[in-house]
């Protein structure tokens, strides 16, 4: 079976999805969408896609589309998911699932009601380094997990929609914290739920551009007593900073895929593209080779295509996206109350 894909969105994340799909067998992107005719055309030309459109309905109505990949801004997720479910389309959606737990709950209900296959595209838990760390934990290499520190930070989103509460649903805690929260759930084991959260957030750098927080931290306490410290920012200079620390009773694991890269260079000229959100391309630079694979895009898309082909559920689906939204909603309540807030699923 060849999985025929309709790509909804032709922007930054869609380019990463196409890079991730490059080496995935048994798939073909047959159509892409953008709200801009020029962007739709340019994206299709760049990636050799045979058809493009500015209407989402055109993609959903095609009988030759088996899987819809949703790479759209947060405020469009709910309506597109419901429309895709009504059209009977299997779908993969970029993080976060919803702008709130209420929206995420509607989307989860829609795919379950329609009986369609669904995947939640959370790259961090498909990052090869993080998957290897998880396997070491499962194998008992560091004993029982006690605490974790998870960081994802850079100087700001590519998307203007992520700067405003109305379109994003929240600030950096939602936009970037969706990565760290799901990584924490994955590393501890999703059978152990997060039961309470304490969080802080503020706007420290982007006072004119944003109406939401650009810096946030959250403490997640699990039912088994484990504690995760998540640290996210749109206020960190120097390019993407993506790392995790896991401490157990018998050892520790560290992942760092953006600062501890295998390539280091010093140049007085431009080094060209270095990594996502890089703010300089001269001096000391640390390029990330094959970002789509390093960040997890390749592994997640290979997994989704394989699962859909075999009729198996994805290991990350809308239920996981809903759980992340619930935890982050509790974190936002904690920002206001200045105390631990319970997490109720």
Distance between CA 158 and CA 101 in Å, rounded? 24
- pLDDT per residue over 138-194, tens digit each? 999 999 999 999 999 999 998 899 999 999 999 999 999 999 999 999 999 999 999
Burial of 211 (0-12, 13-18, 19+ CB in 10 A): middle
pLDDT of residue 161: 92
pLDDT of residue 289: 92
**pLDDT-based confidence at 1, cuts 50/70/90?**
confident
pLDDT of residue 270: 95
**Does position 28 have pLDDT exceeding 90, yes or no?**
yes
Q: Calculate helix-pair angle for 318-337, 177-188, nearest 10 degrees.
A: 110
3-state helix, strand, coil in the chain (%, to 5): 40, 25, 40
Superfamily of domain 3-122+297-315: NAD(P)-binding Rossmann-like Domain (3.40.50.720)
| In the chain, % of residues over pLDDT 70 | 100
Distance between CA 215 and CA 201 in Å, rounded? 6
Q: Which DSSP string do the residues of 252-298 spell out, in sequence order?
A: EEEEESSSS-S--EEESS-----STT---SSEEE---TTHHHHHTHH
Distance between CA 77 and CA 91 in Å, rounded? 12
Provide the mean pLDDT of the chain: 96
- pLDDT per residue over 302-338, tens digit each? 999 999 999 999 999 999 999 999 999 999 999 999 9
CATH topology of domain 125-288+326-342: Dihydrodipicolinate Reductase; domain 2 (3.30.360)
pLDDT of residue 108: 98
Q: Where are the domains of the chain?
A: 3-122+297-315, 125-288+326-342
pLDDT of residue 275: 86
Query: Span 117-144, mean pLDDT?
Result: 98
Q: Going edge to edge, which strands form the sheet with 52-53?
A: 52-53, 27-33, 3-8, 67-70, 90-94, 118-121
- pLDDT per residue over 57-91, tens digit each? 999 999 999 999 999 999 999 999 999 999 999 99
pLDDT of residue 158: 84
- pLDDT per residue over 233-268, tens digit each? 999 998 899 999 999 999 999 999 998 889 999 999
| In the chain, % of residues over pLDDT 90 | 94
pLDDT of residue 260: 85
32 with 6: CB under 8 angstroms?
Answer: yes
Residue 15 neighbours by CB distance under 10 Å: 17
């Amino acid at each position: 079976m060849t999985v025929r894909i309709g790509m909804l969105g032709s922007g930054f994340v869609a380019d990463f999805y196409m890079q991730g799909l490059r080496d995935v067998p048994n798939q073909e992107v047959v159509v892409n969408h953008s709200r801009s005719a020029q962007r739709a055309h340019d994206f299709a030309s760049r990636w050799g896609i045979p058809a493009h459109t500015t209407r989402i309905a055109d993609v959903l109505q095609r009988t030759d589309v088996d899987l819809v990949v949703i790479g759209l801004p947060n405020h469009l997720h709910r309506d597109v998911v419901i429309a895709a479910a009504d059209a009977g389309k299997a779908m993969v959606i970029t993080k976060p699932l919803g702008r709130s737990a209420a929206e995420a709950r509607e989307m989860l209900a829609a795919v379950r009601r329609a009986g369609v296959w669904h995947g939640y595209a959370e790259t961090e838990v498909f990052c090869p380094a993080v998957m290897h760390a998880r396997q070491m934990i499962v194998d008992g290499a560091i004993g029982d997990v006690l605490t974790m520190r998870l960081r994802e930070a850079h100087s700001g989103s590519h998307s203007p929609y992520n700067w405003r509460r109305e379109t994003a649903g929240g600030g950096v805690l939602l936009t970037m914290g969706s990565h760290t929260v799901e990584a924490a759930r994955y590393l501890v084991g999703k059978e152990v739920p997060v039961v309470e959260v304490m969080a802080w957030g503020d706007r420290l750098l982007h006072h004119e551009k944003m109406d939401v927080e650009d810096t946030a931290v959250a403490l997640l306490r699990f039912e088994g007593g484990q504690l995760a410290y998540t640290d996210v920012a749109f206020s960190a200079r120097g390019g993407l900073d993506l790392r995790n620390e896991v401490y157990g009773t018998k050892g520790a694991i560290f992942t760092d895929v953006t600062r501890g890269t295998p390539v280091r260079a010093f140049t007085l000229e431009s080094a060209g593209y270095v990594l996502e959100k890089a703010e300089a391309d001269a001096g000391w630079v640390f390029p990330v080779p094959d970002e789509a694979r390093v960040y997890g895009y390749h592994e997640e898309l290979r997994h989704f295509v394989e699962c859909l082909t075999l009729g198996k559920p994805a290991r990350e689906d809308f239920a996981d996206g809903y759980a992340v939204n619930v935890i982050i909603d509790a974190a936002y309540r904690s920002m206001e109350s200045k105390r631990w807030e319970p997490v109720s699923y």
